[in-house]
Amino acid sequence: MKHTILNSLLSALVITSTAATAASHNKLVFLNEYDLDGDGDLVLAEFDHARERRFNQTDEDNSGTVDANEYLFEYQNRMDDQLAKDRYGQVKQTIVRFNALDKNQDDRMQWDEYQASGIRSFNRYDVNQDGVINQLDPQPENRWEHARKNQVKTAEQLAQDKRDKLLRAKRLLRMPTTHDRQGFFTKYDLDQNDIITEDEFSQKRRADFDRTDEDNNGWLTEQEYTFEYENRLDQQIARTRKAAIKQTHVRFGILDKDKNGSMTLGEYQLSGHRGFQRWDTNQDGIVNNSDPAPKKRKAKTAKSTDYKS
């Protein structure tokens, strides 16, 4: 059990830009955000200090309470900072993807190079190799997971894996992807009959390629490829911000228990304690990696047609 948190510990506190709600829905982010000394053990006193620090930062007029505008403004700042980081990472990865698809490295992605990547994806999901993807095809093997499980890593590689996992957990900008079966069907099952034929697949791929080829010269530049994806990124950012701001208003209304338009520190901490208790599943007063995972909450999902190529 930790000793009482010392005042000097507060000076080490860094309020990070996260997918921040009253208490994060990911334990990695939760610990990163509130474990002040970074020792992996988060006690309630330490958690309360971090929450009080954030409350005081949010209370811009130093009135001792936080109104809806202050609450929203503080969250928007953190959200926009994280979205900017996410966008940068996504664009950077898009350039990497272009270079990987441009097999002859001539800075031009030809149709056959673009389609070669698509055919590999089609063949992965067409597990029984009958030329169509349907319910008869079993779930394909997760090749990356298999490789990770069989890889012997150094201490530095394990530390980097942990950092990468935290970065993924913090991510707010999540683009729909064909890297899972549901996303693959949503994008390529054009007639929605739960069957994807090779012709159907190629038809959609060709349409995407032609749409990206802005000057209609038959091949894609890195700029065209990146610009098309940036457009979809910005549309997704707008949707993400709109939904998050709406939810922030809802969250403030829940935290403001007496509905007087001002949230007190006590009201703010009450919500935080519910989050702490959710992660402290063994109820020992400490949140750490020894706590079993809490029961999963049911999350609503929304369909989208913006996908990575």
pLDDT in tens, 258-307: 999 999 999 999 999 999 999 999 999 999 999 999 987 665 544 444 55
pLDDT given for residue 288 in this prediction: 95
Q: pLDDT band for position 25 (50/70/90)?
A: confident
Euclidean distance between CA atoms 223 and 111, whole angstroms: 16
How much of the chain, in percent, has pLDDT values that exceed 90?
A: 72
Kindly provide the b/e burial profile for residues 61-97, where b requires at least 16 CB atoms within 10 angstroms of the residue's own CB.
eeeebbbeebbbebbeebbeebbebbbeebeeebeeb
What is the model's pLDDT at position 49? 96
Mean of all residue pLDDT scores within the chain: 87
Can you list the positions of beta strands (E) in the chain? Answer: 42-43, 66-67, 109-110, 132-133, 196-197, 219-220, 262-263, 286-287
Q: What is the pLDDT of residues 217-262, one digit of tens each?
A: 999 999 999 999 999 999 999 999 999 999 999 999 999 999 999 9
Q: What is the pLDDT of residue 105?
A: 95
Q: Determine the 3-state secondary structure of 11 from DSSP.
A: coil
Under the banding of pLDDT at 50, 70 and 90, the label for residue 6 is very low
Tokens of 121: 């994806």
pLDDT mean over 56-60: 97
State what percent of residues in the chain have pLDDT above 70.
Answer: 85
Provide the pairing of β-strand 262-263 with 66-67.
antiparallel
Average confidence (pLDDT) over 15-21:
36
